[in-house]
Structure 1
Amino acid sequence: MTTARLQTPAGDLRLIRPGGTAGLRAWDAADELLLSAAEPYLADGLRVLVVDDQFGALTLGLACYQPQTVADSATLAHSLLTNASLNPALPDCPAVLNWRRPPSGPFDLVLLRIPRQAGYLAWLLRWLNSVLAEDGRILAGGMIKHLPDRSVDVFASAVVTEQVLPARKKARVVVCRGGSATLPEWQEQWRGYPVAGLPGPVEALPAVFAREKLDIGTRELLPLIPQAVSRVPPAGRILDLACGNGVLGLSALAGRPGAEVHFSDVSSQAIASVEHNLSRYEGGDCVHLWHQDGIADDLPDYQLILLNPPFHEGGVVGDHIALRLFRDAARHLAPGGRVLMVGNRHLGYHRSLKQYFSSVEQRAASPKFVVFEARNGAV
């Protein structure tokens, strides 16, 4: 981990990027530009909100104004606590809220990291309209290469763009006033698709992976779920790890109504989407939802873990997320249990899985994807 210093309204901050790729900083030029753009608006008593901070640079950089912070990713809480501990002179670190329990406002100033997905940006701006004070401002910033397609149109459809600040170090910040667009009237909030054997469409909010059509990797895994579920003992537990909209776990639940099925995802919009989809199921008393990165140490062991691991985190692409999930799965796999996972063929997950599991077998394959079954791993 690389420790570096960032100049902010709260003074110079020491920041690290926990668990990330070695050599990467805990902030980028968009964070710097957002903090600089915020300075003319800062005043005592200002009600400040930070949305989707990455590693705490924005929240800690404005710590003297006691901002609230809300993020889709469960990783921010750990990053924020870690970086707050490196800067003990700052006020107490705020709790991180998420989209299952968002803040209520009103807010005078909002600092927003622009997401890559146009749909999620449209959702965020409409939600912000509901919590922005009458004379409030939204400062939305991101790296230009990561801005979503049609971002200008997305802003125009939801808020009033007051100023586009000059680009700096390949970053851009837009200053906006609130608009009249709201979430209840927005028809794009929920998108989904039907899945054979399920009682209704599998729907998801905009920040969730593959919300509009079934992911082709998941398509390879679904036919193997009934047999895998049939091997789970009557009192056994099933986990849909990195669950997204929950299609894998929902398919397991459809095959065994009343089973103890857990869903875990780093995205709060993913967990909210699973909760939404579960409303169509009867007897969901044994279902548990976990908004967390991987599997927390205090969770139980599982007889079956279903997994379609992501291979990108923000702008970083690689197998580092999958390796963390393999490690967690190995630690929480009950004796005799199985991990059923799918991955891109070119990533060579059969080699990675053998670092954590004693038995790894191929169960299905297509030109792009491979399904593996791993058993009884030892870390």
Structure 2
Amino acid sequence: MRPQSPPCELLARQDADYRGWLWVAPPRDGWLESGRGAVWSADLTVCEAWRQAGRPAYATLELPAVEVPGAVLFWPKSHALGAWWLESLSAALPRGTPIQIIGENQGGIKRVPKVLASMGHGCRKLDSARRCTLFATESGGAAQDSEAAWETFSAGDLTLATHPGVFGHGKLDDGTRLLLETLQGSPLASGSRDPLQVLDIGCGDGILAAWLARQGHEVTASDVSAFAVEATRRTLAANGLEGAVMQSDVFSRIDGMFGAIVSNPPFHQERAIDYGPAERLIREAPAHLAPGGTLTLVANAFLPYPDWLQAAFGGFETLADDRRYRVFRAVKARR
């Protein structure tokens, strides 16, 4: 199978024997998934694809004890997250284990030598092509402070936990702010303010889950990212609130029926636009809502959500519109 992404095209032309290597935070790419070795990723969709191909996949934030001849890190758009992956790899792998770092030039890969120098690691450039660059270093075997990258910040009267790689990282997203303002002035279920079983999909740092739990709702929160799942757990704990939190690719691991679903769904995968998760959220939501249950979500004004809402629910209403973002609500018909 041919590589499907520029970084993998660059890797495919290397002389290195990558059999048995650990692939860290890679994109979805059939060339990788059909090869050999294991993956370590916070993205459940990546890990599930590797498992379906019969490959080992680690979706946890701590790498279990593994013996590998080397590791390849795909540099993310967040430099702080890239540094976290590097530090984690260096701490988890035996000293001297080869580590390669690959990324697109527009994604900031050229800053990697400075990042490595700040960690006391050497660095050499191996190759460049397809507007990508490949660097090489090796693990240092130093211990890592697993709590160092975790931070907290305040949003209203809530304390939120955050980590590089979590949506919004350290600030309240404007779309989420509009959604919260709208929820404060509109009950989740039409004509009722009674507590509901509520599902927060794409929970991020947990602000929606925490706010909903504080209103007395029974909250289930999910996200495809292991970083977001842990952030939401920490946010709930920091505010003395309870809720179930799980890693799920939209509804892939969600059981039960809900009185309401609330979401600020993602539409980016790194720098690429990806409408897939949001479309699945809207189209599959009725199957997870009780009769009369509601889907409330916020979206950038240019996104094609109205068509999907109309097709899935037969109608919807716009609760708020500040020209940048819109808050939509659709109701599952009562039989």
TM-score by length of 1: 0.78
Find the counterpart in structure 2 of residue 132 from structure 1: 93
Which amino acid in structure 1 is aligned with residue 25 of structure 2?
A: D
Distance 1:103 1:35, change over 3 A: farther
1:340 aligns with 2:313: no
Which amino acid in structure 1 is aligned with residue 183 of structure 2?
A: I
Find the counterpart in structure 2 of residue 310 from structure 1: 266
Which amino acid in structure 2 is aligned with residue 359 of structure 1?
A: G
- Which range moved further: 175-184 or 360-369? 175-184
Find the counterpart in structure 2 of residue 271 from structure 1: 229
Distance in 2 of aligned mates of 1:101 and 1:330: 36
Distance in 2 of aligned mates of 1:300 and 1:372: 23
Match of 2:161 among 177, 197, 203: 203
Query: Identity, % of aligned pairs?
Result: 26
Whether the 8 Å contact between 1:159 and 1:180 is mirrored in structure 2 is no
Find the counterpart in structure 2 of residue 80 from structure 1: 50
Whether the 8 Å contact between 1:136 and 1:178 is mirrored in structure 2 is yes
Distance in 1 of aligned mates of 2:18 and 2:309: 51
TM-score by length of 2: 0.88
1:288 aligns with 2:244: yes
Report the 3-state secondary structure (helix = DSSP H, G, I; strand = E; otherwise coil) of the residue aligned with 2:329.
Answer: strand
Report the 3-state secondary structure (helix = DSSP H, G, I; strand = E; otherwise coil) of the residue aligned with 1:134.
Answer: coil
1:374 aligns with 2:330: yes
How much is the aligned-residue C-alpha RMSD, in angstroms? 2.7
1:71 aligns with 2:29: no
Report the 3-state secondary structure (helix = DSSP H, G, I; strand = E; otherwise coil) of the residue aligned with 2:73.
Answer: strand
Q: Which runs of 5+ in 1 are unaligned?
A: 7-25, 85-92
Distance in 2 of aligned mates of 1:336 and 1:322: 21
Distance in 2 of aligned mates of 1:114 and 1:377: 45
1:213-252 equivalences in 2 (<5 Å): 213-226=171-184, 227-229=186-188, 231=192, 233-234=194-195, 236-252=196-212
1:164 aligns with 2:164: no
How far has the Cα of 1:41 moved from its partner?
Answer: 7.3
CA deviation digits over 1:179-211, x for unaligned, max 9?
477541884x1234212232xx21211111101
Report the 3-state secondary structure (helix = DSSP H, G, I; strand = E; otherwise coil) of the residue aligned with 1:209.
Answer: coil
Distance 1:298 1:197, change over 3 A: closer
Report the 3-state secondary structure (helix = DSSP H, G, I; strand = E; otherwise coil) of the residue aligned with 2:282.
Answer: helix
1:57 aligns with 2:34: no
Report the 3-state secondary structure (helix = DSSP H, G, I; strand = E; otherwise coil) of the residue aligned with 1:304.
Answer: strand
Find the counterpart in structure 2 of residue 110 from structure 1: 71
Report the 3-state secondary structure (helix = DSSP H, G, I; strand = E; otherwise coil) of the residue aligned with 1:223.
Answer: helix
Whether the 8 Å contact between 1:119 and 1:206 is mirrored in structure 2 is yes
Distance 1:34 1:103, change over 3 A: farther
How far has the Cα of 1:159 moved from its partner?
Answer: 5.4
Which amino acid in structure 2 is aligned with residue 243 of structure 1?
A: C
Whether the 8 Å contact between 1:310 and 1:322 is mirrored in structure 2 is yes
Whether the 8 Å contact between 1:129 and 1:159 is mirrored in structure 2 is no
Find the counterpart in structure 2 of residue 22 from structure 1: none
* Total equivalences in the alignment: 330
CA deviation digits over 1:342-379, x for unaligned, max 9?
1111224223311211331111121211111111169x
Which amino acid in structure 1 is aligned with residue 132 of structure 2?
A: A
Find the counterpart in structure 2 of residue 14 from structure 1: none
Match of 1:365 among 321, 329, 334: 321
How far has the Cα of 1:124 moved from its partner?
Answer: 0.4
How far has the Cα of 1:278 moved from its partner?
Answer: 2.1
Distance 1:134 1:148, change over 3 A: closer
Report the 3-state secondary structure (helix = DSSP H, G, I; strand = E; otherwise coil) of the residue aligned with 2:302.
Answer: helix
1:255 aligns with 2:215: yes
Find the counterpart in structure 2 of residue 89 from structure 1: none
Find the counterpart in structure 1 of residue 8 from structure 2: 31
Whether the 8 Å contact between 1:116 and 1:146 is mirrored in structure 2 is yes
Distance in 2 of aligned mates of 1:95 and 1:41: 15
Q: Which runs of 5+ in 2 are unaligned?
A: none
Distance in 2 of aligned mates of 1:153 and 1:354: 50
